[in-house]
Structure 1
Amino acid sequence: MSVFTPFALPVPPVIPDRRVDIRDHGARPGGALLNTRAIAEAIQACARQGGGHVVVPPGIWLTGAIHFRSRIDLHLEAGAELRFSQNPDDYLPAVLSQRGGVMIYNYSPFLYAHRCEDISITGAGLLNGQGQSWWPWKHSQPGMSSIQGPDNFAALRTPLEERVFGTREAGVRPVFCQPIECKRVLIEGVTFRDSPSWTLQPVWCSDLIIRHSTILNPPSLFSHNTDGIDPDACRNVLIEHCVVDTGDDAICIKAGRDEDAWEAGIPSENILIRHCEIRSGHGGITIGSEMSAGVRNLHAHDCTCDGTDTAIRIKTKPGRGGFIKDILIENITARRIRHAAVELTFHYGDTLEKPPDPKNLKHVPAVENILIRNVRCDSAREALHLRGLPGHPLKNVTLQNLEIHAFQNPLREAMETLREERVILHPLASPDILRHPPEIPATVAATRRVADIIEAPEILFPPEKRPMARRRVIPVAPAETGPARLRWKPAPGAGTVRPMSLRIVAAVDERVPHQVDVANAATGEHYGAIDVLYACPGQVFELALTTEQTAASLRDGLSLSVKNGASPLWIVAPGPNAPDAILPQLYADNAPPTLENFLALFCSAASLQPCDWMEICVLDGLFDWAMKGRKDAQQTVFDHLDTFLHPGTGQRENIRSHPCDDEAGGPESTGPFAILAALAPGHPALRFADEGFEKHLRPGTGTIGLNTIVTESNYNIAYPMMMMATEAGRADLRERALRQLEVARERLTAPDDLYLRHFFDTGEKTFRNWSRGVAWYYLGLVRTLALLPPKERPASLVAEAGRVAAWVTRHQLPDGLWPCFLKENDLLPDSSGSAGIAAALALGVRHGMVDASLLPAAAKALDGLMTFMTHDGWLRGTAQSNKRETHHMDIQRSSFRVIAPWGMGLFAQLAAALDH
């Protein structure tokens, strides 16, 4: 079948060989003085001479909107940065623009041309949009309802001269670069970063070339609608050798929306996309959804997509009208696709349960003659999502030579003439891809055997609870109800069996003690028990097996049941957002641990914790390594926050696994908002933390906590409060954060003791010298003060940081760690408390609050903690309880410990603080 006819490449612009330096017209570098007028005068002077190259030399050049003239090349030399002003007034007066397929008057695009010929942006420099000040407008943009709503300007046929925005109140963000009705446009070699909204959106242009350029925008949780390259109703287009890493669609072909587009009647056509690298975003190679004037004759080939929502996406909906036809997409390599590898849908913005609005059925687009071939995808949630509309099917779609690994079955609905030739779909046992899994070293993969078959009794999940991150769960129930069974298929070429440990991971909070009995599934032989005092989501429990038990388990399987209590223990099973590392498995720890293996595991979905004190331990560790430039840490920070806060799909549970999507979840749950405030100080979800602070404010003390103050309030309240104060310039939060620290110092400390909790009404103090409580107190103190300039840190609190440093080092064990309760050296160490204390020590030294002579104590702790590390990166040795009852204390004296991702987060903070 032929759906594609080759077409000629676009004609490049012709620029006269003339150079005009912006410095000759008054431009001054440094990033402080605005150079808008100087750059405009340089362009005008060059244009008066017939055109040429307007040169931006090395340096930082602050500017507002730049407007092109015909035959002008804006050339950025290597080392040059055009830094665009964050003041909206620098993009006035309003100009003719387009947003969402609708023509309007709005703030000028940063780089703007209207009805120009022969224009270009070239060189090796950077165009920095400083979009951080614009992205929060996404959450308050009433003007967009007149563009995107059902009664938009186009639908109402509002005269163009009445479609005027360009105010903060309207909140309609400008586009970064938008030539309109231009001929012969070239963008080559430059880098665009931090766009306010869509990055490159040529409209009604012909002979457009975009090549060897880079677009860098953060993920969509923060940089909303920052599409990469969006040719809109353009003809003769070449996009090649570009790198796009952005917060929305990467390369997206559009053709206007609804009445405006139908009236103009200008389709996007003759488009060639090749040799592009797409690193993140929503859609990789995308068409739509604004395509009302039609898209035809598109050829995309030899591109890669890594970590996008979809690799190939054609999206439209009833009401758009127009057509998408004669499309060839081939030779595409995709990795770690979060949703569908290939999606063709008439249901953009709808769900499977929501039918289209009947009034839109008179303007149903035609999607036909689509050929997709030679596609390889190593992992996706869904292989194919092909969904037409009853009575309006997708027509003449051919899929050739596709090989896709996916978790969910493909969807094919309302298709007419679907041809599939050599389409190979491999089922995935676990959708690691949904949260950027670590690159597991071969030596790690070889020692992990995830259960192939998992069976469990049908038991009603507690209706008041919810599994974190929509993970699938199974119950480990009392034996009389029926055991959970784990089975392993024979491994080809398996060698000598070595002793392995059974691992299971708790899926929801469980505060009733459980004893998990583990037995041979065939013979019933009892292999041992896992003593669960307290299970929190993500906590890993292990039971060591002998060589003989391991061999029998691989042959016969294992049965798991709880002995104590009637309630089941819910554990993670294969399903969404569950990487192999947290599935039921046997593991052989037969190689030395490495920090790199730890970081590979930690920078993944395996470290996800409930959105409370546990997750802030993890987020701080990820953020510390992200700030050191570690890419997987940077991505995982966004992935974790995306899980909790993504519009429409994010969900949060409190410390007891109860849903709390519309609130912070209590004083223990405000910690994660510290990192959200650091990355997106204008994010609307920060109101949950603000509301939580107010709800739990104790009158008369100025502290958060109605009847008590606890050590974790330093870390979970004072620290996020100070971060929000620093990023948003809020003096009220700053003073309240410092007050929280002062009251904690007054009520929780003694000359040689530190208490976890103080009751205001009785004066009682409890949980003396619990190591994790010490870690929270000290880490929160240091991190909060570190957000202030040294001269603004209260002397009393700086002195307290030094006092605690000396106190904890006096009670450090010879192996560098601290026991579950400090000064009670008959108890074995607690790895999470030890990591947190040592991290606070190292950070205190780094920020000048602690004498540098104490830094070796932190380094000694890191060495001691490495002895608790497994080869695949888990950190063992977390104590389960802070209670002093006999049974609990016996366990503290025993070698039984668990793996807790929050302890890994504290260890990551320590390792980052010591990393040079």
Structure 2
Amino acid sequence: MKQIFKYIILTLFVPALFIKCANNNTQNDPWKTANNIVETIGSISFKDTTYNITKYGAIADGKTLNTSVINAVIEMCSVNGGGTVLVPEGTYLTGAIHFEDSVNLKIDKGATLLFSVDPKDYLPVVKTSWEGIFCYNYSPLIYAYGKKNIALTGEGTVNGMAIPENWWRLKGKTKYGWKEGMESQLDSVGQPLLNQYNKNQTKVEDRQMGEGHYLRPHFIQFFECTNALIEGITVEDSPFWVIHPVLCENLTIRGVTVNSNGPNNDGCDPESCKNVLIENCIFNTGDDCIALKSGRDDDGRAMNRPIENVVIRNCTMKNGHGGVVLGSEISGGCKNIFVENCEMNSPELDRAIRIKTNNNRGGVTENVYIRNLNVGQVKEAIVRINCSYDSKEGQGNFIPTVQNIFISNVQSQKAQMALKLDGLEGENCIKNIHIENCSFNGVKEDNVIKYVESLNLKSVHINDELINESL
């Protein structure tokens, strides 16, 4: 195992800085901050009035479109002071559902909301964020804009019915059903146009996408909402990102199961949110299980709203590109992130912890605390930090910073490598990384560590050999 660190030193091209074992970056226990975040989020309650959608004309045959009925009942509930809109046992077809203030939409046990795969059922367009760029696009399947005290709860299921024959083919890859001659988000009127809007900083209201632009809608998006809860539901087969809160404050996502293995099917992607608790959830996804974001490139810098004060605990990550991921759309910054007591295990899980960014994104990612992870197996690395993610985007002038990362008590059984940390040559973009009391077993290859300043390993075991090193 000495050979591993011989390799590290040879590939470390910034001046090595030896540092003492830090007392967890602060004289105070940072995990007290996590407790304070949870207390700040608190809980929400609703008026003790229930509106059963079947009493207002909803039909549970899986064929009749119930969009107008469900939205009318939600509006009625809100106008009357709020309460619970109940979706009872049965299967209900619907288009876009839009929240109003003080409403708990409860999907009862045995109930399923099936979402139409006709894009016209998600018009007119609404204000959204698509891969960290603001625009007007198809409505998310479940959407709230500027609402307060809202919840999506219950033991039932919401199913986006996305498959290669409908939404997923718009990814533009044959793996997901696309064929030569078909439209896709890669067409000039799709993602390339949106990227140009971002680069030019076109007014958001002039970024009209939707029909004819082939950008898939998100499943659940709360946008600029305060005091929100998503709890207990099962989410299946999303067209795009699954749970995507944007610019929200005081948000809890608890006991949610995500089973969605399509393209860009990230499980939960809070973007530029403050005070977020994600706990007791299960993620089986086609992309990142959880990914924290804060806007892409120019939009992220212009908004300048970090994702901050996030607690992730007691979650299970199965298939996915990463268990807990920060980035890549993280131009607005990321800080005060706490991850603990999670299980990660699947031959189809690429990495456990990942931070991904590049010099188009920029931004500062800092004060990240991770502890008590049980990792069975991953395909690549247990810890992956990449400051040159997605090189096909070309080179920019916005050097990202990743600093003050503290990882402790991680146990893993099988991985290609323990650590893969890639900075940028000539830039101190990765620094002050602490890994302590970890055991990485079944590791096949040496660590890869390039352009990193201030890496401290204490009581780290790789394949049962002890390592105490400061670089």
TM over 0.5: yes
Match of 1:377 among 401, 412, 415: 412
Q: CA deviation at 1:151?
A: 5.0
Deviation track 1:648-698 (CA, whole Å, cap 9, x = no partner) reads: xxxxxxxxxxxxxxxxxxxxxxxxxxxxxxxxxxxxxxxxxxxxxxxxxxx
How much identity, in percent, do the aligned residues show?
A: 38
Match of residue 319 from structure 1? 360
Q: Does 1:64 align with 2:92?
A: no
| Residue 408 (structure 1) aligns with | 445
Q: Where does residue 420 of structure 1 map in the other structure?
A: 457
Answering whether residue 218 of structure 2 is matched by residue 165 of structure 1, we say: no
One-letter code aligned to 1:164:
Q
Q: What are the within-5 Å matches in structure 2 for residues 344-363 of structure 1?
A: 344-350=385-391, 357-358=394-395, 360=396, 362-363=397-398
Structure 1 position 391, deviation (Å): 2.5
Q: Output aligned runs, 1:517-666, within 5 Å.
A: none
Give 1:397's aligned residue. Answer: 433
Aligned partners of 2:412, 2:265: CA distance in 1, in Å?
25
TM-score of the aligned structures, taking structure 1 as reference length: 0.45
Distance, in Å, in 2 between the alignment partners of 1:314 and 1:386 is 9
Listed one character per residue, the Cα deviations across residues 729-763 of structure 1 (whole Å, up to 9, x for unaligned) are xxxxxxxxxxxxxxxxxxxxxxxxxxxxxxxxxxx
Q: Could you say which residue in structure 1 is the equivalent of 2:185?
A: 141
What's 1:101 paired with? 132
Q: Does 1:301 align with 2:340?
A: yes
Aligned-partner residue type, residue 307 of structure 2: S
Match of 1:395, SS state, is strand
1:365 and 2:435 matched: no
User: Deviations along 1:162-209, whole A, 9 cap, x unmatched?
Assistant: 211111x32100000001000001001100000111000000000000
Out of 261, 266, 287, the residue aligned to residue 305 of structure 2 is 266
Closer, same or farther in 2 for the Cα pair 1:68/1:80, shift >3 Å? same
Give the aligned residue type for 2:433.
V
Alignment-derived partner of residue 584 in structure 1: none
Partner of 2:378: 337
Partners of 1:146 and 1:153 within 8 A in 2: no
Counterparts of residues 449-464 of structure 1 (less than 5 Å) = none
> Equivalent residue for 2:246?
203
CA distance in 2 between partners of 1:385 and 1:330 (Å): 18
Q: Give the gaps of 5 or more residues in structure 1.
A: 429-916
- Structure that is richer in helix per residue: 1
- Answer yes or no: is the 8 Å Cα contact 2:170–2:214 preserved in 1: yes
> Which amino acid is 1:17 matched to?
D
CA distance in 1: counterparts of 2:297 and 2:275, whole angstroms: 23
Q: Is the partner of 1:33 in helix, strand or coil?
A: strand
Match of 2:198 among 134, 150, 154: 154
State the 1:152 CA deviation: 2.7
1:34–1:325 distance in 2 versus 1, CA, 3 Å: same
State the partner residue of 2:37.
8
Q: CA deviation at 1:145?
A: 7.5
Matched, 1:21 2:27: no
Match of 1:909 in 2: none
* Residue aligned with 2:124, SS: coil
Specify the code of the residue in structure 1 equivalent to 2:248. C
Shift, 1:142, TM fit: 3.3
- Give the corresponding residue for 1:31: 62
Q: What CA distance in whole angstroms lies between the structure 1 residues aligned with 2:355 and 2:161?
A: 31
Maintained 8 Å contact 2:375/2:412: yes
1:427 to partner: Cα distance: 9.2
Q: How many residues align?
A: 417
**Residue of structure 2 equivalent to 1:248:** 287
The SS at the match of 2:351 is strand
Q: Distance in 1 between matches of 2:423 and 2:151?
A: 40
Structure 2 counterparts to residues 367-516 of structure 1, below 5 A? 367-393=402-428, 394-404=430-440, 405-426=442-463
**Residues 758-837 of structure 1 aligned to structure 2 (within 5 Å):** none
Cα drift, residue 423 of structure 1: 1.6
* 2-structure distance, mates of 1:343, 1:150: 29
TM-aligned CA distance change 1:104 to 1:275, over 3 Å: same
* Aligned counterparts of 1:339 and 1:230: Cα–Cα separation in 2: 22
Q: Output the CA distance in 2 between the equivalents of 1:152 and 1:227.
A: 24
Does structure 2 conserve the Cα–Cα contact (< 8 Å) formed by 1:145 and 1:152? no
Question: Once the 2 structures are TM-superposed, how far is the Cα of residue 390 of structure 1 from its aligned partner?
Answer: 1.8
Secondary structure (helix, strand or coil) at the match of 2:322 reads: strand
TM-score where L is the length of structure 2? 0.86
> Residue 226 of structure 1: which of 265, 273, 295 is its match?
265
Secondary structure, aligned partner of 2:71: helix
Once residues 243 and 289 of structure 2 are traced to their aligned partners in structure 1, the CA distance between those partners, rounded to angstroms, is 10
The residue number in structure 2 matching 1:85 is 116
* Matching of residue 288 in structure 1 with residue 327 in structure 2: yes
Task: Specify every segment of 5 or more residues in structure 2 that has no aligned partner in the other structure, as ranges.
Answer: 1-21, 173-183, 466-471
- Aligned mates of 2:271, 2:146 — CA distance in 1: 15
Q: Compute the displacement of 1:417 (Å).
A: 0.8
Cα offset, 1:147, TM superposition: 4.4
Distance 1:56 1:110 in 2: 16
Judged with a 3 Å threshold, the aligned counterparts in structure 2 of structure 1 residues 385 and 61 are, in CA distance, closer, same or farther, namely same
Query: Any conservation in 1 of the 2:190–2:215 contact (CA below 8 Å)?
Result: no
Find the counterpart in structure 1 of residue 179 from structure 2: none
Deviation, 1:102, is: 0.2
Q: Where do 4+ consecutive residues of structure 1 move more than 6 Å?
A: none
- Please say if residues 53 and 74 of structure 1, whose CA atoms lie closer than 8 Å, have aligned partners that are also in contact: yes
Higher strand share: 2
